Structure formats: structure tokens, C-alpha cells
């Protein structure tokens, strides 16, 4: 059987690589797309899957607890005289040394709560239930946004949860008749002749035992996968990361340039960062803002929360002069990891939409587009990029406005002004800003961003925007990439569906979103 399965697995992998790599199927792959894309797209939804598993555990745990509570009360009621002779007889088993018990509640006067809390099943049940409640309540968006450390450390109670789950079944609270007893004690006959149980030859007393714990079988695979991932992360933690440049932006953003041996990234990917001098346990995700074509990788870290505040202090960002590079604290990097935005180059027309801090992934994308446009040897399928940025205060991301200005200038020099079309929407301003904007509305350069493209004020009308996109590209598959809040994501997903043509030869909007 193993040889047969192994041969089939080998044939599958061999055929997969044949279709994926052979030159004879290049045009077929252009038509159908690469095989790995669909799988990777599903793996990008790991957080959504993680949440669904958590909800499933919570639902089944609730059913489990309610069912056991009902069973305990039924065990207790079986000790009363009103329960009937058979239930009384079954409840009375186990009083003699040679008898095994079925009812864990030994007398009617026994406190069910007290009895429950003195058993292995009861104690571990309470522990894993409390651990599960703490894990799930601390995972709410309110806690994660305001007290990330509470979420981070509480989530590691999964160690207590899994350990308790393995031990939980050792209590053997639910018991059944043993196989040996079933051979001697014919339940079909004896359950209706329980008064004959004293006759050892006809109906010997039944013997009971609990099942051996099996939870470890279900936990073994995921725990081994988790341990492997921890080993990989520890190995990456030990690798040297060289900090080549540190920039403090006036908007409360710390820019770090780093190098690491063997580090290869794709546009729009992200990494996990750890600073041991700040925390020995915490790893935080940050989107890479550099392009794969650059000889370094970079992140922009905005000052929000305790961890970033401690990191700013460790790097001397609050001081007038930055520390020398050799004096900077050590950083560990895990990654890079993929994201949906890496598919932007697979479309002839791509639409990038960012809201607030969601603009970060597109820094890497736009840089990479620029490098690809400037390289005459690069054949780029992407022909047009529309970029939308909705923000309340662009000064909070002035580093990104600088990037746009640089790209705008370079595109103009290469006569590629039509390649990138960007639209910035400002949704928040005060009275003094409004007056300043009105006085400079006729200037060639935008008063807010300094770009040639003027800033729009208010929120975009997505119906108008998508209608115009559909008219501009009537027979194209358009990739729409979004990073921002869930409410806006739902609107955009619905709009993409509304403006996609029923005719497959017409315009088709393919929606992709980042976890935010």
C-alpha cells in the first residue's frame, strides 16, 4: 500500500512539474495561469481559517460542556429512588471491592459540583475552558488594537489548553462495558432480567471502564507542525541582520534599512521583526517598503503602541541625533511571507486602493513597477496602474508622499506619465487647512502633497470610478488590490462584482484584499 501511494505521489509531482516547467506548455500556462497561484491564494487566508477553527472549537466546547452538565445531573438523579430499579442497581455497582462502577456520582447526597471538581476530567475541563475564554476574549479587535501585549501573551495559553486537553480524557468520566464483560454478560437478555444478575452463570455482574484518552492523536500533527515552525523561526532568529540605515521621519515614522544573507523578497511581502532588547518573545509583522530590485530591504514603523514606542527609544529616534549603527540594538527577521498584492504583475491593468496605513504594501509595489519600467530587458505584462489613496491626514505618511513625488518625477523623465494614474483623497481637514487650500487652488503643484496630481477632498464615489475603469478597459481582466478596513473592503468587493461583465469576453474585476 505504501509503495503504491508513494508511486502515485511521485507521478503527481513529476507531472505537475512537467506542465509547470516544460516549454511546450508556456502558452497553455499563459491561458490558464500557474498552478501554484490558486493554492498560495488560499494559504494567504490563514488568519481567516484560524478564526473559523477557533469559532468551531468554541461552538463544540459549548456543546460538550452543556452535554456533560446534563449527564452529571442525570447521573445524580439515577441515585434517587424515583429513578427505577435498573438505574438504582447500576448506580449501586462499585461498592464492593470486586465491582467496577458506572455512575461517578456515588450517593444522592453528593454535591455534583464538588464531585466534578475532584475528578481529573472536571479539573482539566475547568482549566481548558478558562484558557479558551481568555484566549478568545483577548483576541477581539478592541483588545488587539488597544493592548496588543495582552492579546499576544494570553494567546500563548494554548500551551495550557492543549496540555489540559491531552490529560482531560484520562479522567474516563464516561464509562462503558468492557469487551470481556460483553462476552459473558449478554446485554440483550440481561438488561431485561437485571434481578438475575446475582446468578453468576446466567448474568454475571457487568464490568465497566472508561476509554483511553485519544486527544493526543488529533493534536500530534498540528503540534509537530508548530514545533517545526518554531525551529525555523529560531534558526532565522540566530541569523545576523545588518542595519545599514536609520531614518526618523517627522510624522512619527521610523525607517529601517537592513541586509541579511540569503534574503530574497517579492514586491508587497511582509516580515516579522523581533528586537530582543525590547522583548524576548514578541514578533511583530511589518510590510516591506523596499523593492526586490534594491540591494537592501526596508520597513517603515509608525509609532503606535508600547512595543513601537520602546523600539523608537531603543533606536534613539526620540533624541536629536541618531545613534551610530554599531550602537543600535540587535534585530531578528523572520520571513519574508507572501501576500495577495504580489499578483499585481499578472494583470494588464491593476487597481491599487489603500486606506490610511494600508498604503504601506504599495510602497514596495510602486518601487518595483518603476524598476521594471526602467529595465529594457524586462517584459512587463502590466500596462496600466491606477492608484487610489484615502487618508485623513497625509502628513502622517509624508514619507509615502515623498515616494510618489520621486516616482512622478522619474516617470516624467522616461515619458511614462500615462503608465501610473494616482488619485489621493483627503477625508479630514481643519478650517486653517481649508483656507490654505482655497488660496492655492490654482497652483500647478498640489498644496498638500506637492504633486502635479491635485488632491481630491472627501470620499471617492466608487460607482463612478469603476464605471470609468470599465469604459476605459472594456475587454480586460482588471486586478483590484485593497489594503484597509473591512467596511470599505466589503463595498469594493460588491462594486467589483457589480461592474464585472456577465459576458466572459467583457471587463472582469478580480478582487484581492490584504489582511488589515
pLDDT tens, 208-217? Answer: 888 888 888 8
- Whether 231 is in a domain gets the answer no
Residues 199 and 283 in one domain: no
Residues 81 and 188 in one domain: yes
Q: Hunting for cell 509609532 — which residue is that?
A: 303
Q: 455: closest CA among 474, 476, 429?
A: 429
- Whether 13 is in a domain gets the answer no
Residues 326 and 448 in one domain: no
Residues 298 and 258 in one domain: yes
Q: 226: closest CA among 169, 277, 161, 285?
A: 161
Cα 4 to the chain's mean position, in Å? Answer: 36
pLDDT tens, 263-289? Answer: 988 888 889 999 998 888 888 889 898
- Range with lowest mean pLDDT among 147-161, 290-304, 362-376, 444-458: 444-458
- Whether 28 is in a domain gets the answer no
Give the CA angle between residues 64, 67, 73 to the nearest 5°.
Answer: 140
- The CATH number of the domain holding residue 243 is 2.40.30.10
Residues 200 and 80 in one domain: yes
Residues 369 and 452 in one domain: yes
Percent pLDDT > 70 in the chain is 87
- Given a cut of 90, is residue 58 above it in pLDDT? yes
- Given a cut of 60, is residue 116 above it in pLDDT? yes
**Domain count for the chain:** 3
Percent pLDDT > 90 in the chain is 19
pLDDT tier at 437 (50, 70, 90 boundaries)?
Answer: low
User: What sign does the dihedral 303-308-312-315 (CA atoms) show?
Assistant: negative
- Whether 19 is in a domain gets the answer no
Residues 212 and 326 in one domain: no
- Given a cut of 90, is residue 10 above it in pLDDT? yes
Q: Are strands 384-391 and 349-355 parallel, antiparallel or unpaired?
A: parallel
- Given a cut of 70, is residue 68 above it in pLDDT? yes
Neighbours of 403 (CB within 10 A): 19
With contact defined as beta carbons under 8 Å apart, do 101 and 208 qualify? yes
pLDDT tens, 235-254? Answer: 999 999 999 988 887 777 88
- pTM for the complete prediction? 0.70
- The CATH number of the domain holding residue 478 is 3.40.50.80
- Whether 1 is in a domain gets the answer no
pLDDT at position 3:
92
Residues 180 and 250 in one domain: no
More confident residue, 329 or 304: 329
Give the CA angle between residues 205, 210, 212 to the nearest 5°.
Answer: 140
Highest mean pLDDT among 6-10, 144-148, 203-207, 372-376: 6-10
pLDDT tens, 305-351? Answer: 788 888 888 888 777 666 677 788 899 999 888 777 777 888 889 99
pLDDT tier at 436 (50, 70, 90 boundaries)?
Answer: very low
Using a CB cutoff of 8 Å and minimum separation of 24, what contacts does 312-318 make?
312/254, 314/275, 314/277, 314/278, 315/246, 315/254, 315/256, 317/246, 317/248, 317/254
- Given a cut of 70, is residue 430 above it in pLDDT? no
Residues 78 and 135 in one domain: yes
pLDDT at position 154:
92
- Whether 5 is in a domain gets the answer no
pLDDT at position 157:
93
Residues 256 and 351 in one domain: no
Give the domain extent around 492.
Answer: 346-513
- Whether 27 is in a domain gets the answer no
Please provide the average confidence, as pLDDT, over all residues in the chain: 82
Amino acid at each position: 500500500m505504501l509503495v503504491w501511494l508513494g508511486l502515485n505521489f511521485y507521478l503527481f509531482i513529476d507531472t505537475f512539474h512537467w506542465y509547470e516547467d516544460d516549454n511546450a506548455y508556456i502558452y497553455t500556462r499563459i491561458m490558464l495561469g500557474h498552478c501554484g497561484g490558486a493554492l498560495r491564494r488560499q494559504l494567504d487566508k490563514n488568519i481567516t481559517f484560524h478564526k473559523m477553527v477557533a469559532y468551531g472549537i468554541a461552538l463544540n466546547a459549548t456543546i460538550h460542556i452543556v452535554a456533560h452538565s446534563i449527564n452529571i445531573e442525570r447521573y445524580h438523579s439515577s441515585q434517587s429512588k424515583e429513578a427505577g430499579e435498573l438505574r438504582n442497581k447500576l448506580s449501586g455497582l462499585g461498592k464492593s471491592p470486586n465491582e467496577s462502577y458506572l455512575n461517578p456520582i456515588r450517593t444522592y447526597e453528593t454535591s455534583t459540583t464538588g464531585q466534578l471538581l475532584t475528578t481529573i476530567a472536571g479539573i482539566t475541563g475547568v482549566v481548558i475552558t478558562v484558557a479558551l475564554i481568555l484566549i478568545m476574549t483577548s483576541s477581539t479587535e478592541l483588545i488587539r488594537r488597544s493592548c496588543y501585549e495582552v492579546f499576544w501573551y494570553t494567546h500563548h495559553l494554548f500551551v495550557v489548553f492543549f496540555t489540559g486537553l491531552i490529560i482531560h480524557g484520562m479522567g474516563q468520566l464516561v464509562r462503558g462495558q468492557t469487551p470481556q464483560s460483553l462476552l459473558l454478560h449478554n446485554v440483550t437478555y440481561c438488561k431485561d432480567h437485571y434481578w438475575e444478575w446475582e446468578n453468576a452463570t446466567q448474568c454475571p455482574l457487568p464490568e465497566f471502564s472508561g476509554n483511553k484518552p485519544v486527544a493526543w492523536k488529533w493534536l500530534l500533527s498540528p503540534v509537530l507542525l508548530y514545533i517545526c515552525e518554531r525551529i525555523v523561526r529560531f534558526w532565522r532568529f540566530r541569523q545576523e541582520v545588518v542595519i545599514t540605515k536609520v531614518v526618523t521621519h517627522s510624522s512619527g515614522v521610523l525607517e529601517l534599512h537592513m541586509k541579511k544573507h540569503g534574503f530574497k523578497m517579492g514586491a508587497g511581502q511582509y516580515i516579522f521583526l523581533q528586537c530582543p532588547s525590547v522583548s524576548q518573545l514578541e514578533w511583530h509583522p511589518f510590510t516591506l517598503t523596499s523593492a526586490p530590485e534594491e540591494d537592501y530591504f526596508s520597513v517603515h514603523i509608525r509609532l503606535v503602541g508600547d512595543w513601537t514606542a520602546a523600539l523608537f527609544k531603543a533606536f534613539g529616534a526620540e533624541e536629536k541625533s541618531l545613534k551610530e549603527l554599531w550602537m543600535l540594538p540587535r534585530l531578528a527577521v523572520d520571513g519574508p511571507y507572501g501576500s495577495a498584492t504580489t499578483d499585481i504583475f499578472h494583470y494588464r491593468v491593476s487597481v491599487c486602493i489603500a486606506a490610511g496605513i494600508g498604503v504601506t504594501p504599495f510602497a514596495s509595489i510602486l518601487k518595483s513597477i518603476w524598476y521594471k519600467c526602467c529595465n529594457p530587458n524586462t517584459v512587463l505584462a502590466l500596462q496600466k496602474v491606477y492608484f487610489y489613496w484615502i487618508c485623513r491626514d497625509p502628513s502622517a505618511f509624508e514619507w509615502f508622499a515623498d515616494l510618489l513625488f520621486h516616482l512622478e518625477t522619474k516617470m516624467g523623465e522616461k515619458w511614462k506619465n500615462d503608465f501610473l494614474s494616482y488619485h489621493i483623497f483627503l477625508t479630514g481637514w481643519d478650517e486653517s487647512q481649508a483656507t490654505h487650500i482655497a488660496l492655492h487652488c490654482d497652483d500647478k503643484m498640489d498644496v498638500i502633497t506637492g504633486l502635479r496630481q491635485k488632491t481630491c477632498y472627501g470620499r471617492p464615489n466608487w460607482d463612478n470610478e469603476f464605471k470609468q475603469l470599465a469604459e476605459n478597459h472594456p475587454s480586460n481582466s482588471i486586478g483590484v488590490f485593497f489594503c484597509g478596513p473591512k467596511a470599505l473592503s466589503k463595498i469594493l468587493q460588491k462594486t467589483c462584482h457589480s461592474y464585472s461583465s456577465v459576458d466572459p469576453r467583457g471587463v472582469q474585476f478580480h478582487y484581492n484584499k490584504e489582511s488589515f
